[in-house]
Structure formats: C-alpha cells, structure tokens
Amino acid sequence: MNSINLERPYQPGDYFVVHPRGFLAEFIQFIQHLYSKDHESQYTHAGIIIDSDGATFEALGRTKRNHIDHYTGRPIMIVRDKLMTPRDFEISFAEISKMEGWIYPFFRLFLHLFGLARYIHWEFAVCSELVAKFQWTLGWRCRWWGVTPDNLADEWYECPARYEILKEGRK
C-alpha cells in the first residue's frame, strides 16, 4: 500500500476503518476472516470523523474523541456517505455522543467471536457498532448490533453510488 494524501478535507460524518497495531487487532482480523462472506478481512477498527481537522469519535478503551493522525502508518480507508448532510450529522452525533466516556464493552467481542452479536445486544457498542448506530439513528440501517469493521468496509466497497472512498492505503 502506498502512503496517501487527502485531497478533499474531512467532513463531519466521514467514516473510517483501520488496522491498528496489536494482538487484539490481529485476533479480530482472524475472527472476521472466519465469518466474512468474501473470506477477507483487512480492517479491525472503525470510527467517525467529527470535524474538518480529523477529530474522531470512536470506541477504544472508552468511547471517546481521538484524532485520525493516531493511525499514521497504518492501513486505513476513509469514506464519505453521499447522503450525509450537516443536519444529519448534528442529529446523529447528538444521540451517539451520549455514549462518550462509556467503557469499551469487551464482553461484546465474545458475542462476535461466537456469531451471537447480531442476536444479543444492549446499549453498549464496539467500534464498528458505534458507526452503525450512528447510521441507525438516522434510519439508514435496520440494526446496529453485530456489525464488524469488515462488514462496514465491504458495504463501502459494494456501494459506490452511496459511499465515496476518499482514501485507502496507509495514513
């Protein structure tokens, strides 16, 4: 993968998937590979870009604000939802930002491991479910639970009429 530059500035409501470093990322990639329709899994973390400077909202150790530069040197895909308006972003972010500070729901990873996360859910969301919940609050998705970073990446590839890939490669 080549290093990439973003020619168009970030917009609130852009999404990203990334493959960060670490054992947990490698484990998630292995599990996603087992359940993936295409038997491929490149990205293991997801989040939402919340301003033009690249601030992010994501579920890490807690649901919190971060910055896209945190993933410098890592494989990443950043997309723009062509349906997103500034008002849509405000509505959805007002809803999901209520989760800021929540502890990461590691127990949900076990549900994902056994393919149960799409059937069993509470208000807690792992990183990709947070992105899906962001869309769900706008009525753009029938459910947010059980969604993985690989599911999101596949959706973004499969629907170029809806999603514009702004960059893919290493941050």
CATH number for the region 15-170 comes to 3.90.1720.10
pLDDT in tens, 74-86: 999 999 999 999 9
pLDDT in tens, 99-130: 999 998 888 888 878 888 889 888 899 999 99
Calculate the average pLDDT of the chain: 87
**Backbone angles phi and psi of 15, in degrees to 5:** -115, 160
Pick the more confident residue, 114 or 140.
140
Name 116's Cβ contacts closer than 8 Å, sequence gap at least 6: none
Residue type, 54: G
Dist. CA 25–CA 46, nearest whole Å = 11
Cβ-in-10-Å burial (0-12, 13-18, 19+) of 34 comes to: exposed
Residue 4 has a pLDDT of: 44
Average confidence (pLDDT) over 52-58: 96
pLDDT in tens, 10-54: 999 999 999 776 666 566 666 666 666 766 767 889 999 999 999
Residue ranges of domains in the chain? 15-170
Q: How many C-beta neighbours within 10 Å does residue 16 have?
A: 27
Q: How many residues does the chain have?
A: 171
